[in-house]
Amino acid sequence: MDFGFSEEDEAFRGEAREWLAGHVDPVVGRRDWERTLGKDGWIGLGWGEGGFGNRTGSLTEQVVWAEEYARSGAPARAGHIGENLFAPTLIRYGTEEQKRRFLPPVAAGEELWCQGYSEPGAGSDLAAVRTKAVREGDHHRVTGQKIWTSLAGEADWCFVLARTEEGSRRHHGLSFLLVPMDQPGRIEVRPIRQLTGTSDFNEVFFDGARAEHVVGAEGDGWRVAMSLLGFERGVSTLAQQIGFAEELRGVVETAVRCGAVCDPLIRDRLVRQWAELRTMRWHALRTLGGANEPAAPSVAKLLWANWHQRLGELAVQVRGAQAAAGPSEWSAEEPYRLDADQHLFLFSRADTIYGGSDQIQRTIIAERVLGLPRESKGVG
C-alpha cells in the first residue's frame, strides 16, 4: 500500500520540528515538560474532536509528531500511559462524566497515570489476576499486589484490573477501576532495582484503597483491558524505531572506531540490523494504515523485542573484552555505572518478557490467527 506523507503532513512536520527545537530543555523536570506540551496542545493528537483541550491530528500527523519527537532528543514522556493507553480506552468505554473529569487534566499534562495489570503469578497470563475489589456503597475497596508498574512513584492515578466477583475465575468477574495514588496507608510503592542499577518499575501494594470509578460495566474489565493493550502497539512504535535507529548508529560508529567493522561477520550483522529495522518500519506503517490484521500487534512485539535484544548483544560484541570493563573512574557515590552499550545489553534482556512474553505472543498467533488447537495444560 502507499503510505506517503502529503504536503500538509510535511508542513506539519516543519511546525513540530520548529516547536521542539525551541522548547526542548535537557534539564526541565518531567512534570514541567508535560505541562509545556499540554499548554501548546501537543498531547492527545489521536483522540479526535471532543473538546478536551487537545488539538486533533490525522493518523499521518500523529506519525510525524512521534518521529520528530524522537529525533529531537526530547525527554522520555512521563505522560505516555495516560495519553496513549488510558485516554483512548476511556474515550471508547467511559461515561461522558468520566471523560470530562479525566481527559482535560491528561491533555494539560497535569495528571499522570500508571498501569495496574501484572501481578506475581499473573504477568503474561493476565487472566490469573488475584487483586480483589469489594463494593462499599458508591465505591470499591481494592486489596492486592501489582508488579512491574512503571511510573508508580510519580503517578496521580492508576487504572487497575481487579476481581470484583467473588469466586470468579480467569477472565470472568474482572473490572477496570480507577484508583487515586494519594492514599497514605492504603497504597505502598516499592521500587524494583534492575540489572542496570536503575529502578524503572515498582511493586504496588493496595490495602483497602478506595476506587470510585469503574470504566465500562462492572465485570466487563477483561474486554476493556484487552482493548487498551491494542492501543499499546500504535503510533508510538514508530517513535520507538527512531530511538532504535539512533542506538544502531551508535553501534556502527563504535564498530568503525574500534576496527570491528573489518570483520565480515560483524559487517553482516550490522547490515542485517539495518535492513530488519527498515522492514519493521514498513510493517508498522502498513498496519497503521488499516490492514486490520489480528496478528499485527503480536507480530510487531516479536519483531522489535528480538531485534532490540540482538542489537544489545551486538553492541558488546563489537567492543570485545572491553565491553565487560567498568568505568575508568570509580566513586563510592556512584559505584554502579554503565555506559550506553552496557545499559543497552542488560536492559534489552527483558524485551522478550515484558509487555507479553515471546511465548505468549506465539500462542496468540497460533490459536487466534492460525486456528491451531489450544495447548494442553494437563499430562496424559
Provide DSSP, 282-317.
HHHHHIIIII--TTHHHHHHHHHHHHHHHHHHHHHH
How is residue 127 annotated by DSSP?
G
Quick check: is 232 catalytic? yes
R_g of the chain computed on alpha carbons: 22
Q: Which three cell numbers stand for residue 105?
A: 487534566
- Nearest Cα to 316, choosing from 250, 272, 264? 250
Look at residue 326 and give its three-state secondary structure. coil
Residue 376 neighbours by CB under 8 Å, 6+ apart = none
- E strand segments, the chain: 113-116, 132-136, 139-146, 157-163, 174-180, 187-192, 201-211, 213-215
* Angle at CA of residue 191, ends 186 and 192, nearest 5°: 130
Residues near 297 by beta carbon (within 8 Å), at least 6 away in sequence: 229, 230, 232, 233
CA distance 121 to 109: 34
113-116/157-163 β-pairing? parallel
Report the DSSP beta bridge partners of residue 189: 204
Catalytic residue among 110, 165, 188, 232: 232
110 CB-near residues (< 8 Å, 6+ apart): 34, 35, 38
Q: Are 107 and 79 in contact (CB under 8 A)?
A: no
* Phi/psi of residue 145, nearest 5 degrees: -130, 135
Burial 302-311 (b: 16+ CB within 10 A, else e): bbbbebbbbb
How many CB atoms neighbour CB 55 within 10 A? 14
Q: Is 203 helix (H, G, I), strand (E, B) or coil?
A: strand
Host H or E run for residue 157: strand 157-163
Active site residues: 232
